[in-house]
A and B are shown apart, each in its own frame.
Chain A
Amino acid sequence: MKEYSVVGKRLPRIDSPAKAMGQAKYAADLVLPRMLHGKVLRSPHPHARILNIDTSQAEGLPGVKAVVTGKDTKGVKFGGWRAFTQLIDQYPLCMDKVRYIGDEVAAVAAVDEDTAEEALDLIRVDYEPLQAILDPEAAMKEGAPRIHEEVERNICWSRFIEFGNVEEGFARSDYVREDNFSLQTQAYAPTEPRACLASFDHAGRLTIWTSTQCPYPVQCQLAAALGLREGDVRVVQPFLGGGFGAKFELFPYEVCCSLLAQKTGRPVKMMYTRQEEFSASRTRHAMKIWLKTGFKKDGTLMARQARAVLDGGAYTSFGPTVTFTAGFFHTLLYRLPNYKYEGYRVFTNKPPSSGMRGIGAVQPFFAGETQMDMVARDLGIDPIELRLKNARQPNEVIPKLTTVNSCGLSECLTKVGESTRWHERQSKLPPGRGIGIACAGQQSGGAFNWFRTRLAFSNARVRANDDGTVVLFAGAADIGQGSSTVLCQILAEELGVRFEDVSIVAADTGTTPVDIGTWGSRVTFQAGNAVRAAAIELKKQLFAVVAPKLNADPVDLDIKDRKIFAKGRPEPSMPFPEAVTAAQAANKGKILEVAGSYHPEGKGIVSPAYSFVAVVAEVEVDRETGQVKVDRLTVAHDCGQPINPMSVEGQVEGSVHMGLGYALTEQVVSEKGEMLNPSFLDYRIPTALDMPEVKIIEVITDEPEGPFGAKEAGEGCVAPVAPAIANAIYDAIGVRVKDLPITPEKVLKALREAQPNS
């Protein structure tokens, strides 16, 4: 393992003190002079035509400053899919139709929130209710009513993947099985309900402070929706209280808020309520997966075929990516010669589904890793051995899709097995207790240019001052995952200065260079590479000036702990501040500032690198009530070189927590398109008391494409939790639940079906 000075250190995050002391300002905390408050009127119907909207009474209410409806907008659709314009399908305010309960119909700005809400009650909307289509399989049927007029059979996006020959693969298999899996709708439920504050200056330029994961894509989409030039829109991200993919796109309320600010000439703030955050934002795709797999008797994987139907909700959102990755992830973990996938994302009259932490991964991994356990039992092979036999190895190509460079999957499996004394305990625990394993992998950012940006995916600028301080300007958005800290660590390491010398300005399109945003576990990897490139460039400029003074060739110079010296010869040396002063002087006082960028060029169509993880779950099942108690989760995790191990552990624990809820308790329950549990009381995210002991084992690999060998760490550990728990339940009581969440009721039902007479 390489020795680093700042990278790999357990440094506290730079934003922690402000958050711990309540000083961090989130979008909802911001206040501007003369600020108005905005509210959105939402559709009460899952599917209806808008016949007429009468806002006159609302406009007449004292304190109301503006009311906007679809007619006041430019009437252009927006969305992130600039590479496929047919997928851009959301209006800032509905024009002729509402497509889910919560769809935006009108917006109001008033002197305070009470007045704005009162005004909403005074807006009269005449609807002609249409038949609501809530089941994706019904929506796909020929002749089903259309949710978007131009979309046949309501199929928003379909995706096919094929390599090898599955028919042949199955024919040559000794053992083939097919299973159906069903995955529920999960809510993102970030701690911070979203909010934004929009303000125009006298030149007609907009600044919006908003809870977003993606300032640059929001800037571009917002400009288009308002008919402004991108450069006339500045998007600033304040502190952000969690995103998980929910704050990844431009949202209608941000356009409404901007419109109201434009119309009134005053700043306008809008804040989601908790219920809006639950029911009028985004959800994780519910999915039905059919999976067929063939093996040789000795456990060699021969072929896999999968079909997925995704419940898309009312708009495209980030669904096409999920449709693709839900097919891709079946190919990642094991050497697979023959594969075929068809995925259909279907519109329904529900809140739009999108990419949520473990994007398009948790669903296929639940199916694949549960089925792997069934196969192991049927073939009489230990589940870890079966996985090891087929496990992906470093530097392998997945046909037509991607190349996997570093891969610690086998080591993860071995270590998690050792740590949990797997071989002594699997199938041997007392009745009601069980142990189960599952694996997953995750991309380190996307390689596909869905946003059709002409700029590199990540950019950074670095300025060195002659007092030895260094300022990093990065478009990358810290959403609570700790990226700003990690980027400062990468910069300090590469530049040979101390961590405390570096400060960061981030996620402000007015002052920081373009970054495509925080999604798909890309920031440490991609923005990290951009930062590192800038640091290398800065060193180059410094070394050119310093070399003659140290009687050395620039290529022989190095910098460590703020001192520049020739490699292998610590003295003479030049302190970093002196070197910066010299570089400035050599350029007539020009500031020393450089840029770096990263773009995943030629890295297939998925991602430049992949993390891997194996999880062992230990559970107790109450056979009379069906209740499952998870006692311990042991996680062996390959994220390359951890830049900040403490931060990685936080991400792993957070992921595991989300996976636990997905496995056992979390589910959006709706009736006729209406969410019945839009609160933290009724939408059951595990509490601190529900958390099992979590043991984390870091498996360190060196990813050639990653900054200092790093890969993703924020998402991958969500996916294996549910199948590991499901497999442990099987080990405990001998029954399988193949649809999530595994509620006590489903466990009892499965037990009853297994032993009809008890």
Chain B
Amino acid sequence: MQYPRRLPRFEYLEPKSLTEACKLLLQNDGKARVVAGGTDLIPKMKRRDVNPRALISLHGIPGLETISHSQVDGLRLGPLTTLGAVESSTIVTERFNVLYQAVQSMASSQVRGLGTVAGNLCNAAPSADTAPALMVLGTRLKLISPQRERTVAAESFFAGPSATVLEPGEILAEIQIPEVPRRSAGVYIKHTLRRAMDLAIVGVAVAITLQDDTCHNVRIALGAVAPTPIRVPGAEAILKGKGRSGDLFRRAAKEAATACQPIDDVRGSADYRREMVEVLTRRALEQAWDRCPGSTEGKR
């Protein structure tokens, strides 16, 4: 067992631009890490799980903590936008509520004040709460490196526990969330043992868009039940173009439970997790549907 120690020695670098940050990352040849809020990275360093030679802080670069919104571009978050800032943004609460739900379920207000959405994604924990919410919002991630710039869909970003598709010298530069269609709603259900300060046993995010009385579009994403957060397209397909039906919700939920690959750990057994995926996916679908403006339930 490793007892957490005081922080080891490391070099602290504060580049003045993202390009410079990418270059420093590349120069340090895998031995450097970007630090945003540090709420994942610093405890890992104290446990000696990671031993970077240098930390490249983004805090010397102006303008990275933005939350901007327009009809055309949708919502854009910078690499230093904190969970707390997202939580208290009215635009997020009003239009991207599923992200608000995910963020406010996380950690404590102190940790949310430091931790960032980008950090949550790049840390790539299977239980990262913002991931399922961002996936169902159709989020794209802008990645930059000295050589190139690219965007990837949120669900293509993760490569395994603590692993992403980020290449050497690459930094997550922007989180791009498209405008949400009018008759839509999203729900994030985080299953935990405590009501605060807890990591998900299972996380389920659902976003539904209605057209007339049928499901025009639906996205379902799961956290903590596979090596990475995942989408479950098989379950989504069951609902597309269909009307509200408890039976279809149950079938989709069952499909989600079949698609996931949970493991046993301190927080719960694989069997229990799978079972909860089924229960909570069904509940999230029901709730999201009924929250859509103009749904039969919503009209009542």
Contact = CB atoms under 8 A, between A and B. Distances in A.
A680 B268 contact: no
A44 B1 CA distance: 6
Contacts of B1: 44, 101, 279, 674-675
A687 B195 contact: yes
Contacts of A681: 197-199
Contacts of A42: 3
A273 B6 CA distance: 10
Interface in A36-62: 42, 44
A682 B195 CA distance: 13
Contact of B268 (A275, A624, A682, A745): A745
Contact of B193 (A674, A688, A743): A743
A688 B6 CA distance: 30
A687 B279 contact: no
Contacts of B193: 664-665, 684, 743-744
A687 B3 contact: no
Interface residues of B, number: 21
27 contacts: A113-B6, A117-B5, A275-B4, A276-B3, A279-B1, A625-B279, A625-B280, A665-B194, A669-B266, A675-B1, A676-B266, A681-B197, A682-B266, A687-B194, A687-B196, A687-B197, A688-B196, A689-B194, A689-B195, A689-B196, A690-B194, A690-B195, A743-B193, A745-B268, A745-B269, A748-B272, A748-B275
B76 interface: no
Given A680-B197, A681-B199, 20 more contacts: A114-B6, A117-B6, A273-B3, A276-B3, A279-B1, A664-B193, A665-B194, A675-B1, A676-B266, A677-B266, A682-B266, A684-B194, A687-B196, A689-B194, A689-B195, A690-B195, A744-B193, A744-B272, A748-B272, A748-B275
A577 interface: no
B197 A273 contact: no
B269 A273 contact: no
Residue from A113, A117, A675, A744 whose CB has the most chain B CB atoms within 10 Å: A744
A279 B2 CA distance: 12
B194 A275 contact: no
Contacts of B268: 745
B286 to A, nearest CB: 12
B112 interface: no
B257 to A, nearest CB: 13
A426 B276 CA distance: 30
A265 interface: no
Given A665-B193, A681-B199, A748-B272, A624 B279 contact: yes
Interface in A683-724: 684, 686-690
Nearest to B202: A625
A114 B9 CA distance: 9
A56 B269 CA distance: 47
Contacts of A690: 194-196
Nearest to B189: A625
A117 B194 CA distance: 34
Contacts of A117: 5-6
Contacts of B269: 745
Nearest to B197: A687
Contacts of A101: 1
A684 B266 contact: no
Contacts of A687: 194-197
Q: Which 6 A-B pairs have the closest CB atoms?
A: A689-B195, A624-B279, A687-B196, A745-B272, A689-B196, A665-B193
Nearest to A279: B1
A665 B1 CA distance: 24
A113 B6 CA distance: 8
Nearest to A681: B197
A687 B272 CA distance: 24
Interface string A97-120: 000010000000000011001000
Contacts of B194: 665, 684, 686-687, 689-690
B191 interface: yes
Looking at B196, B266, B269, the one whose CB has the most chain A CB atoms below 10 A away is B266
B46 to A, nearest CB: 9
A273 B198 contact: no
A434 B147 CA distance: 63
Most chain B CB within 10 A, of A276, A625, A676, A689, is at A625
Contacts of B195: 687, 689-690
Contacts of B272: 744-745, 748
A624 B151 CA distance: 40
Interface residues of A, number: 33
Given A681-B199, A690-B195, A743-B193, A273 B4 contact: yes
Contacts of B3: 42, 273, 275-276
Nearest to B279: A624
Contacts of A669: 266
A677 B1 CA distance: 12
A686 B192 CA distance: 12
B299 to A, nearest CB: 27
Contacts of B280: 625
B106 to A, nearest CB: 11
A108 to B, nearest CB: 13
A273 B1 CA distance: 14
A690 to B, nearest CB: 5
Contacts of A689: 194-196
A688 B266 CA distance: 23
Nearest to A672: B1
B101 to A, nearest CB: 15
Nearest to B198: A684
A174 B148 CA distance: 84
A681 B4 CA distance: 14
Interface string B122-152: 0000000000000000000000000000000
B128 to A, nearest CB: 14
Interface string B1-21: 101111000000000000000
A687 B109 CA distance: 13
Interface in B37-53: none
A635 B275 CA distance: 36
A335 B108 CA distance: 48
Nearest to B265: A676
A388 to B, nearest CB: 36
Residue from the set B1, B268, B279 with the largest chain A CB neighbour count within 10 Å: B1
Contacts of B6: 113-114, 117
Interface string B257-272: 0000000001011001
Nearest to B278: A624
Nearest to B43: A679
A672 to B, nearest CB: 10
A664 B195 CA distance: 12
A745 B276 CA distance: 10
Most buried by A among B3, B196, B279, B280: B3
A381 to B, nearest CB: 35
A39 to B, nearest CB: 9
Contacts of A274: 4
A273 B47 CA distance: 12
Interface string A654-679: 00000000001100010000111100
A171 to B, nearest CB: 44
A682 B267 CA distance: 8
A688 B108 CA distance: 11
A115 B146 CA distance: 39
Nearest to A113: B6
Most buried by B among A680, A743, A745: A745
A543 B174 CA distance: 83
Nearest to A42: B3
B95 to A, nearest CB: 27
A317 B5 CA distance: 27
B67 to A, nearest CB: 26
Contacts of A745: 268-269, 272
A681 B192 CA distance: 12
B140 to A, nearest CB: 31
Contacts of B198: 681, 684
Interface string A717-758: 000000000000000000000000001110010000000000
